[in-house]
Structure 1
């Protein structure tokens, strides 16, 4: 319930960005005090990249897992996924700070799932994605993708329960953070932003930055930190990153060179040279999908995104289609996998990204690959999967007998720039720091951050399903902290 205590008018809580991190912060701030809550969004429509999320959100243990009480490996999987940036960090203090952030992420994952299901979001289907030792990525049983379902529910709750205290302003660009004084680290006092009509406005209050990453900033931050990735397509809209606004008030950056290449972006046969591509959700592989090059498997599809991407990019590139660097790899789902992922599959088929064909119409090499794989899945003749895959999702083809008339789904995929693990340094309270990772912490008063704009959590590689989780966990922390700060400012 909202507080109704009579007190001096508090400052507003200002949230920059309307993706899942921003909405989680907004909803929590509305329930943590009496302050009005402003969301400032540069796009015309709210939701950000969170709206596109297609695989789900991690949580462990939860009531939806088959062996919830036995899944204590989420922290360990995340540590392992972080790779060299955690294992070989510059200092034990830096490693300890990373571990604290990972501990918060994983240990609050159960509460994150409870929070969303409490809002009416269906998260009853659980899938094992690449890099995970257990099934812990949650989505709904219907056809609505998890990003759409979660973002829509939170936005509606903010509007309905926030009433006049909740204000969403779209089409505005935050250009500057207002500071409390001339000296570094004296604190953030608000924002300066430009409206869609060109007017410059200011708003005073504590600030939560939730503007996302820079995977679509091809000629800006991406070119600055990873020029070697030029030419790769992306899942992100071509928009500039907002990190320079934060560094202008003393925020430090970490892991900016750590950019995740997602191994499976769809190549649209009608427009193969498009730079912006639809993600082929990782859950397609989690439910049983396999990857083929010239009709043969070449990788364990449930390795981490980093390793699957490396395997694909180790193959010969396809002929250049415009300026893009692309590969010609096929994603194939058998009847069992396609049925388990039907909500996604039907959309991809409608978009022309997946094609339904019969087994008998595949080339002979592909048909033989499927027969060999089916024998490994069913354990026939003592065969094992030669690529090391141990979880086969809902693969069914050939397990109870071969059927040439069975229908499979096939589409072309290629690696794409998807997610940026680097960003501003934060602590476990989501405070933005003016100190480097592992140094004595110097929080910037009045400034918090959550979601992809932050760094230090994922290291070399982000586990699928942890981006939405990060948004909920640190969004809720930042919203609560900012609301408390706003109340103190109002009382002063």
Structure 2
């Protein structure tokens, strides 16, 4: 074979190999664009409650690096303390056909529905229509037990899900998501750091500035804000927007709100004066004047518990939180600070206890409730309990128009009948106001156009709940809009098709 022919064969072989390598690389890029490109991209998530963890879980699933910044020493936020459950309809755990979630939520919003009506309705539609998939995501993909369903105040159907075990739903959900995220090399959690500034270049959010261990740091990337509300900011935002609540106790730790960080970059605010005062937070007999209260879960009333004020029923315990709170506050409050009502008792019988044993057992251990007998409550209380038992049995109608009685089983009320009792008072619990977002969790500016590179979810946002938040819709809001924020941020960095 001549040298020229040998040279041609070698050149053809090299060219074939070169073209083969180019084609292989091209096909590899076409078949897996998201993970190959996303691995070099990152998104910042501010806040480690359910909204932040839902966004982070979605981003990590798309192969995107997540830097989660949490101001507290431990992750989980208020979501970790959620005790009643998460709403969902329809789900495989419900019996019957639940078609009223949207209308119940609209009714709960109240008169403010007439303002920003289209905006509110679109958010509520997203919330309620996505509720079933949110529960399915937690149950089927993440392995959270949400098999028990209860009916809470303001709901016309049982749709609030919690687990059958000893762990409250908030803690169960948060610990499960955190465990899953920590198994990924793409997830980076930093605690005890306070975001102090949102960075913006022209019309795009480019990162955040934060303080950690007395150092100021910056991190670059688009941002999902899930930093919570301002119900614990008694001396700041709460006093600005609701000075009439000065002196009220709160179920939130005292810390500043963060909405102002977003208004500096063009975000708009809605419903900032709408603050939910939860009707039942425990008055700790060991520390009655502590301004930070422990919530008495609404599911205790949903499972059949009742309220007595000065030994008499005075309200439909299954009404909205707003209406129950207003009924309590018609009576005289203590003259001490914090401003509270210590003449209100939450009472459960053995049937309610059996259904809520994990919660009540914890409250008993904390000394917030006691196991006692009806004789310790007074003669008027005995009469009130017997009337309630007769109502539950269907012997007489309820003059307060309660329709659902959970698992109350006590029929003949005797002085020796066992009951579980705790003193409760209204306390500032949740802020319905916050930054305006689109149904895709985009933070909107004054022109109602999205601020590029910025999303928000959870209690930092406004417009969903209006005058009253239904129990179980806080965790739901976090899961629904947190996941949406994660999806939209993934599209923004090019990890998934737009």
Q: TM-score range by the shorter chain?
A: over 0.9
Aligned counterparts of 1:157 and 1:233: Cα–Cα separation in 2: 35
1:39-85 CA-partner distances (Å, limit 9, x unpaired): 00011100000000000000000111111xx1010000000000011
Aligned counterparts of 2:151 and 2:495: Cα–Cα separation in 1: 44
Aligned counterparts of 2:157 and 2:295: Cα–Cα separation in 1: 23
Task: Give the CA deviation at 1:6.
Answer: 3.0
Residues 317 and 8 (structure 1), Cα distance of their counterparts in 2 relative to 1, 3 Å cut: closer
1:90-145 CA-partner distances (Å, limit 9, x unpaired): xxxx2011100000000000000000102111101101000000000000111110
Residues 366 and 3 (structure 1), Cα distance of their counterparts in 2 relative to 1, 3 Å cut: farther
Structure 1: state its 5+ residue gaps.
Answer: none
| Greater alpha carbon shift after TM alignment, 419-428 vs 403-412 | 403-412
1:28 equivalenced with 2:63 (yes/no): no
1:31-430 pair list within 5 angstroms:
31-32=61-62, 34-67=63-96, 70-86=97-113, 88-89=114-115, 94-118=116-140, 119-160=142-183, 163-181=184-202, 186-195=203-212, 197-320=213-336, 322-380=337-395, 383-398=396-411, 401-430=412-441
The 3-state SS of whatever aligns with 1:164 is: coil
Residues 35 and 402 (structure 1), Cα distance of their counterparts in 2 relative to 1, 3 Å cut: closer
1:238-290 CA-partner distances (Å, limit 9, x unpaired): 00001111011010000000000000000001100000010000000000110
Residues 30 and 358 (structure 1), Cα distance of their counterparts in 2 relative to 1, 3 Å cut: same
1:167-200 CA-partner distances (Å, limit 9, x unpaired): 001111111111122xxxx0201111111x1111
| Bigger Rg, which one | 2
Aligned counterparts of 2:39 and 2:130: Cα–Cα separation in 1: 32
Indicate conservation of the 8 Å contact 1:331/1:410, yes or no.
yes
Residues 111 and 9 (structure 1), Cα distance of their counterparts in 2 relative to 1, 3 Å cut: closer
Aligned counterparts of 1:361 and 1:191: Cα–Cα separation in 2: 57
Residues 323 and 390 (structure 1), Cα distance of their counterparts in 2 relative to 1, 3 Å cut: closer
Aligned counterparts of 2:40 and 2:74: Cα–Cα separation in 1: 28
Indicate conservation of the 8 Å contact 1:327/1:415, yes or no.
no
Indicate conservation of the 8 Å contact 1:316/1:327, yes or no.
no
Structure 2: state its 5+ residue gaps.
Answer: 1-31
Relative contact order (alpha carbons < 8 A, sep ≥ 6): 1 or 2 greater? 1
Task: Give the CA deviation at 1:208.
Answer: 0.1
Aligned to 1:11: 41
After TM superposition, the score normalised by the length of structure 2 is 0.91
Aligned counterparts of 1:209 and 1:194: Cα–Cα separation in 2: 16
The 3-state SS of whatever aligns with 2:422 is: strand
Indicate conservation of the 8 Å contact 1:206/1:446, yes or no.
yes
Aligned counterparts of 2:120 and 2:199: Cα–Cα separation in 1: 29
Indicate conservation of the 8 Å contact 1:335/1:406, yes or no.
no
Indicate conservation of the 8 Å contact 2:64/2:495, yes or no.
no
After TM superposition, the score normalised by the length of structure 1 is 0.92
Aligned length: 465
Aligned-residue Cα RMSD (Å) equals 1.6
Indicate conservation of the 8 Å contact 1:217/1:239, yes or no.
yes
Indicate conservation of the 8 Å contact 2:382/2:413, yes or no.
no
The 3-state SS of whatever aligns with 1:487 is: coil
The 3-state SS of whatever aligns with 1:316 is: coil
